[in-house]
Amino acid sequence: MSGLIKSSIARKVVMALSGLFLVFFLAQHFTINITSVIAPDTFNEWSHFMGYNGLVQFVLQPILIAGVIVHFVMGIALEIKNNNARAIKYNKYNGSANASWMSRNMIITGLVVLAFLGLHFYDFWVHEMSYKYIAGNPEDPTRYYEETVEKFEPFWRTVIYVISFVLLALHLWHGFASSFQSMGVNNKYKSAIQTFTKVYAIVIPLGFIFIALYHHLNPITH
């Protein structure tokens, strides 16, 4: 069993599974967020449910955080191992001749997304935690829409969010399809998987960009 944990293939599968879990989470996150544009009342309702449902708060949320940690810790560990596998580098390495930029720079796009997560946690998660558990404020099922839109008022934050989503798209462009290959799925469904994952990699981040820009351009006027 210890052989399995140390094995290169098992580690790749851990990357793939945690990645797929985060991809799935992204779809759920997007579904809720898009309601902030089309139906603010629904957004408030769903956000309140996510914020106060015991299962979501105390079971799913820790699983999600664990998924993020596993994915980036393993990603960084693999990157270090891979770097060590070629101690002396080439003087000339023509990487673009045989592989896409996205596939060769998962660590860069990944670290940018990780840095974004830091800001995103500060913006929403830390705020929620202190609002609910530290300040001990009473439940207010109508606050979420306004809080969210206000977040996108500063230009700098909107820009950082948009750039991060572009990098996320590049990460997903290679990573989503790659996770299937890592788990051994390379068969007659390959082209269908490629198409689906690449469409997903564009559509979801583009949707998040749309939401950020929409709120920035339509601030709440008091």
Partner 1 sequence: MSNMNLTLKIWRQKDSKSKGKMVDYKVSDISEHMSFLEMMDVLNEQLINKGEDPVAFDHDCREGICGMCSMFINGEAHGPDRGVTTCQLHMRMFKDGDTITIEPFRAKAFPVMKDLVVDRSSFDRIQHAGGYISVNTSGNTQDANALPIAKEAADKAMDAATCIGCGACVATCKNASAMLFVGAKVSQYALLPQGQVEATERVQNMVKQMDLEGFGNCTNTGACEVECPKGISLETIARMNREYLTASIKG
d(CA 94, CA 152): 41
Phi and psi at 219, nearest 5°, equal: -70, 155
Q: Is 188 in the site for partner 1 (CB under 8 A)?
A: no
Q: Which of 2, 38, 92, 135 binds partner 1 (CB under 8 A)?
A: 92
Amino acid at 177: A
Q: Which of 84, 118, 155, 192 binds partner 1 (CB under 8 A)?
A: 84
Q: What is the 3-state secondary structure (H, E, C) of 139-198?
A: CCCCCHHHHHHHHCCCHHHHHHHHHHHHHHHHHHHHHHHHHHHHCCCCCCCHHHHHHHHH
Q: Which of 46, 68, 103, 193 binds partner 1 (CB under 8 A)?
A: 103
Q: Is 12 in the site for partner 1 (CB under 8 A)?
A: yes
**DSSP E strands: which ranges in the chain?**
none
Letters for 59-78 (x = contact with partner 1 by CB under 8 A, - = none) are -------------------x
Q: By the 8 A CB rule, do 47 and 99 touch? A: no
Q: Which of 38, 54, 58, 91 binds partner 1 (CB under 8 A)?
A: 91
Site for partner 1 in 150-179 (CB under 8 A): 174, 178
What the block records as the tokens of 220 is 């709440």
Q: Which of 38, 55, 87, 135 binds partner 1 (CB under 8 A)?
A: 87
Q: Is 109 in the site for partner 1 (CB under 8 A)?
A: no
Nearer to partner 1, 60 or 183 (CB): 183
Q: Is 182 in the site for partner 1 (CB under 8 A)?
A: yes
Q: By the 8 A CB rule, do 114 and 72 touch? A: yes
Which residues of this protein are in contact with partner 1, per CB under 8 A?
3-4, 6-13, 78, 81-82, 84-95, 97-100, 103-104, 106, 174, 178, 181-187
